[in-house]
Amino acid sequence: MQNITVLGSTGSIGKSTLDVVARHPDRYRIIALTANRQDELLFEQCRQFRPHFAVLLDEAAAERLRKRIAATGLDVEVSCGNDALVKVATLPEVDAVMAAIVGAAGMRPTLAAAEAGKKVLLANKETLVLAGHLFMDAVRRSGAVLLPIDSEHNAIFQSLPHDYAGNMMSSGVSKILLTASGGPFRNTPAPELQNVTPEQACAHPNWSMGRKISVDSASMMNKGLEVIEAHWLFNAAADDIQVVVHPQSVIHSMVQYVDGSVIAQLGNPDMRTPIAYALAWPERIVSGVAPLDLFAIAKLDFVAPDLDRFPCLTLAYQALRAGGTVPALLNAANEVAVDAFLNRRIAFLDIPRLIASVMEAVPRAEVRRLQDVLDADAAARIAAQAWVGQNTK
């Protein structure tokens, strides 16, 4: 029996995780569930999974949940705030932590789970973008087991040698081929991108996801963040990670070897596959995902990314190469830009403009401790908000 904390249980990844867990009550027990402010859904999840702890970031939402829990006689301790998130990510009785909070907000509890030596099921890619070095150091020091949930990285993990220890050359790996769907605007002509709406950006052709990552997919910043994520997870240089646009999203990524072999992982685009893989690793369990119907798919296409229409990808490679706090600046600027776009304050094409301007305006620093990252994140958010203020539609 594995005891599990789900950080961000009311989100897209959180719900998919609970869907897989519910299929295996003999293997997994939920110890803690957390959310930002969706107390109603969290209450329903508490009723179904009977965790010991429920955490909401928002105090008023926590108070509402506390009242409902008391009225139903459930034995769930409700708390609120960031310290409570860290606490449920590090409880001694917890074996595995699903890190599925969106954005930099997920960094503290995710890092804490790694420091506490938990099995970390990592969906929150922003933690690696912000503080990849510190996070990977924490994993090594504590002996935490790190399993990537992001479908591409889960596919790469499955396609690498099982004893891969972070040295591509000695493992005979020549390249990581990171696939991208191209998002909802893959074929949208450049002039039309200026006026696309949040609704269009969030209507992903293959994947159903939270709003932030949906916009990231539309701008291809998601792929940029994933290049940085792959760099830290697999110790791969920027030049060794190649983005391949593959519109069907059937191949989730590939590893190319020096002998000419390419190993890929395929499956329907449903996050329950990587979630089930990580939960049960090194075993395999049923996930609820339908078998892949190759005859229905019939063909697989591959094209190079269009860097002119999707400059976010170039910005992410630049940030990775610059190193230090620059990826943290990129991430913070992107979070502010996506939020402003979703709130119709800036246009879609302003997203890369804003990010480039912040990366230029805020000086790069080395990352020696967490505070360096937090300072960079804060400075970038101030610069980004100022940019939004000057460029609001």
Interface residue list for Mg ion (CB under 5 A): 150-152
> Does residue number 358 form part of the binding site for ligand NAD (CB under 6 A)?
no
Is there a contact between 388 and 346 (Cβ–Cβ < 8 Å)?
yes
Place of tokens 């790190």: 146
Shortest Å, Cβ 68 to ligand NAD: 17
Q: Tokens for 3?
A: 């005891």
- Binding map of ligand NAD across residues 131-150, x = CB under 6 A, - = no contact: -------------------x
Contact pick of 81, 117, 198, 210 for ligand NAD (by CB under 6 A): 210
Distance CA 150, CA 104 (A): 16
Contact window for ligand NAD (CB under 6 A) among 33-41, 60-68, 192-200, 313-321: 33-41
Cα–Cα distances in Å, from 88 out to 10, 76, 134, 239?
16, 13, 21, 38
In angstroms, give the least distance from the CB of 360 to ligand NAD.
Answer: 25
Which does residue 213 touch among Mg ion, ligand NAD, none (CB within 5 to 8 A, set by kind)? ligand NAD
Scored b (16 or more CB within 10 A) or e, 287-305 reads: bebeeeeeeeeeeeeeeeb
Residue nearest to ligand NAD (CB): 11
Nearer CB in complex with Mg ion: 112/250: 250
184: helix, coil or strand? Answer: coil
30 touches ligand NAD (CB under 6 A): no
User: Nearest Cα to 153, choosing from 60, 231, 220?
Assistant: 231
Residue 109 Cβ vs ligand NAD, minimum distance, rounded to whole Å: 8
42-46-51-56 Cα dihedral, nearest 10 degrees: 20
Q: Which is nearer to ligand NAD, 8 or 324 (CB)?
A: 8
Q: How far is the CB of 383 from ligand NAD (least distance, A)?
A: 21
Which residue among 2, 36, 235, 248 contacts ligand NAD (CB under 6 A)? Answer: 36
- 266, burial (CB in 10 Å: exposed 0-12, middle 13-18, buried 19+): middle
Dig out the tokens for 212 from the structure: 């932030």
Stated as kind and residue range, the H or E segment containing 111 is helix 107-115
Site for ligand NAD in 150-169 (CB under 6 A): 150
Of Mg ion, ligand NAD, none, which one sits near residue 115, judging by CB under 5 to 8 A according to partner kind? Answer: none
3-state secondary structure of 205: coil
Q: Is residue 102 near ligand NAD by the rule CB under 6 A? A: yes
- Site for ligand NAD contains 61 (CB under 6 A): no
261: exposed, middle or buried (C-beta count within 10 Å: 0-12, 13-18, 19+)?
A: exposed
Q: Which is nearer to Mg ion, 51 or 224 (CB)?
A: 224
Residue 209 contact, options Mg ion, ligand NAD, none, Cβ 5-8 Å cut-off depending on partner type: ligand NAD
Q: Which of 124, 179, 253, 331 binds ligand NAD (CB under 6 A)?
A: 124
Does the protein bind ligand NAD through residue 269 (CB under 6 A)?
no
**Residue 225 CB, nearest approach to Mg ion (Å):** 9
273 binds ligand NAD (CB under 6 A): no
Residue placing its CB nearer to ligand NAD in the complex, 86 or 346 = 86
Q: How far is CA 228 from the centre of its chain?
A: 12
Nearest to 335 by CA among 194, 191, 205, 210: 210
Give 241's strand partners.
Answer: 176
Q: Which of residues 72-101 bind ligand NAD (CB under 6 A)?
A: 100-101
Q: Which residues in this chain contact ligand NAD in the complex, by CB under 6 A?
A: 8-14, 35-36, 38, 57, 100-102, 105, 123-126, 150, 207, 209-210, 212-213, 271
